[in-house]
Amino acid sequence: MIFYLNPKKNISNPNTPTNKIRFRIFANQTLQLLMSQKVLLNSKEVTIILHRLACQLIEKHLDFSDTILVGIQPRGVFLAERLKQILEDEYKVPEISLGYLDITFFRDDFRRTDKPLEANKTQINFIVEDKKVIFIDDVLFTGRSIRSALTAIQSFGRPSEIELLVLIDRRFSRNLPIQPDYRGRQVDAINGEKVKVSWKENDGEDVVHLVTN
């Protein structure tokens, strides 16, 4: 059952964080009228997967003393921040280094579009040289974003090892020979379908949809 919100009702200041989330929920509900959506993962399933991924990271990296998490902008940042929180709060891992990497100007197609590019911030305030780096993104699709990230990270040093963690692996959609080291769920989707990951911090709820136009 879907409850539709009136975005103007009882909202005195639309710019507060709470009301921004309300507007996003309203926009998502409106989008459901225009598209066919299938729930791939609900909130409980997302939580279970996040804890599994956290345990897999601990098994490989122990105390994370030589390991860095890097969220790929924009959507990988939400997953990276959530994993950092789970590792530190739930599993008592000491403070973990987390950075954000923007790949906008490292993409192999950025000169081939007339659309204005919107870059996000890159924030890596630590040494990457000889560290183990874990790239984190929400969906692995063609692999081109990860190729761009591999190029972009070289500006900050030469890691000893780079791994890839994704929430969703669209395994039959790859253009490049790139595979994740840690995956939440494999999804078989045709090119006309889109996997949409929503996070409660930004979208009001944790849910993954398969969207068909």
Average pLDDT over the chain, rounded to an integer:
88
Asked, for residue 2, whether it belongs to a domain, the answer is no
Q: Tokens in use for 98?
A: 């987390």
Are 77 and 71 in contact by the 8 Å Cβ rule? The answer is: yes
Beta-carbon neighbour count of residue 12 at 10 Å?
6
Asked, for residue 129, whether it belongs to a domain, the answer is yes
Q: Tokens in use for 159?
A: 């890691």
> Which residue ranges in the chain fall short of pLDDT 50?
1-5, 7-8
User: Would you state the pLDDT for residue 13?
Assistant: 65
Instruction: Report the side by side order of strands in the sheet with 36-41.
Output: 36-41, 207-212, 193-198
Asked, for residue 76, whether it belongs to a domain, the answer is yes
User: Would you state the pLDDT for residue 1?
Assistant: 41
Asked, for residue 23, whether it belongs to a domain, the answer is no
User: Would you state the pLDDT for residue 200?
Assistant: 95
Total domains, the chain? 1
Asked, for residue 191, whether it belongs to a domain, the answer is yes
Domain holding 84: CATH number?
3.40.50.2020
Contacts of 205 (CB under 8 A, 6+ apart): 25, 43, 198
Asked, for residue 49, whether it belongs to a domain, the answer is yes
Own/partner pairs, 1-6, CB within 8 angstroms, 24+ separation: 2/29, 2/32, 3/29, 4/29, 5/29
Asked, for residue 86, whether it belongs to a domain, the answer is yes
For 99, the domain range is 41-212
Asked, for residue 31, whether it belongs to a domain, the answer is no
Contacts of 85 (CB under 8 A, 6+ apart): none
Query: Which residues make beta-bridge pairs with 87?
Result: none
Contacts of 195 (CB under 8 A, 6+ apart): 40, 139, 141, 168, 170, 187, 189, 208, 209, 210, 211
